[in-house]
Structure 1
Amino acid sequence: MKNLLTLLSVMLLILGCSDDGTPSEKVNIRLRNLSSYDFSNVVVGTPGGTVNYGNIPSRGITEYESFETAYRYAFIELQIDGDTFTIQPIDYVGETPLENGNYTYEINANDSQERYGRLILRLRED
């Protein structure tokens, strides 16, 4: 019986973790740069906090950062070759918060030089 309880405890511990073993008690978000540009000074803001992810090289991916609350899109500001580009949500009315777990914001950049029109954001559940 003791072995069975130990086995069940281990299984619950494993099921309570994400694929990489990180506990999923919060919304964990990492960033993937899908573009051919290097991103610098990358900041992500959600109603659950703001995180500076630093620099992300072309095709690079960051470590997960935790947020209390996040949505399928967020405020994102970064620099490409010294110019600042932004994704600016108006609000989150009608949106459902992401459930606790691991997600990736995939960011791409087109050739536009418009501050608010260059970045493209897509959410992926990991």
Structure 2
Amino acid sequence: MKIRIALNLLFLILSSCGIQDGRPNGVFIRVQNNSDVNFTGVIVQSGNVEKAFGSILARSKSDYKEFEYAFKYAAVWLQAEGQGLSMAPNDYTG
């Protein structure tokens, strides 16, 4: 009985990490593939943080990934039909 109570308490503590006032910290970003080809190896960089989104099928969306910050311009790298594609801003202020 004591073990069950301790495990339940531990679960509640761990499941609430990163959430304050019922809201998560940071922002969530997802990638939408609005093309007719599949994307593979999708990586998004927002600020100094890169996160891998994996493969995104044609006409579908990825799962959300949590970032500390989201900027208007983010860098994206991916493969589409075996060809590497990238979109990276070279001037954040212009």
Instruction: Tell me whether the two structures share a fold, i.e. TM-score over 0.5.
Output: yes
2:75 matched residue in structure 1:
75
CA shift for structure 1 position 93: 2.5
TM-score by length of 2: 0.70
Distance, in Å, in 1 between the alignment partners of 2:38 and 2:73 is 21
Instruction: Give every structure 1 segment of 4 or more consecutive aligned residues whose post-TM-superposition deviation is greater than 3 Å.
Output: none
Identity %: 32
Larger radius of gyration: 2
Structure 2 residue 40 is the aligned partner of structure 1 residue 60 = no
Name structure 2 gaps, 5 residues minimum: 1-20
What is the CA-CA distance between 1:30 and the residue it aligns to? Answer: 0.8
Q: Which amino acid aligns with 1:61?
A: K
Task: Please tell me the root mean square deviation across aligned C-alpha atoms, in Å.
Answer: 1.7
Pairwise CA distance, 1:37: 0.9
Instruction: State the partner residue of 2:93.
Output: 93
Q: TM-score, normalised by structure 1?
A: 0.53
Unaligned 5+ segments in structure 1 are: 1-15, 18-22, 95-126
**Cα displacement (A) at 1:40:** 0.4
**1:67 positional shift:** 1.0
Q: Does 1:41 align with 2:41?
A: yes
* 1:16-42 CA distance string (max 9 Å, x none): 66xxxxx34211101111111100000
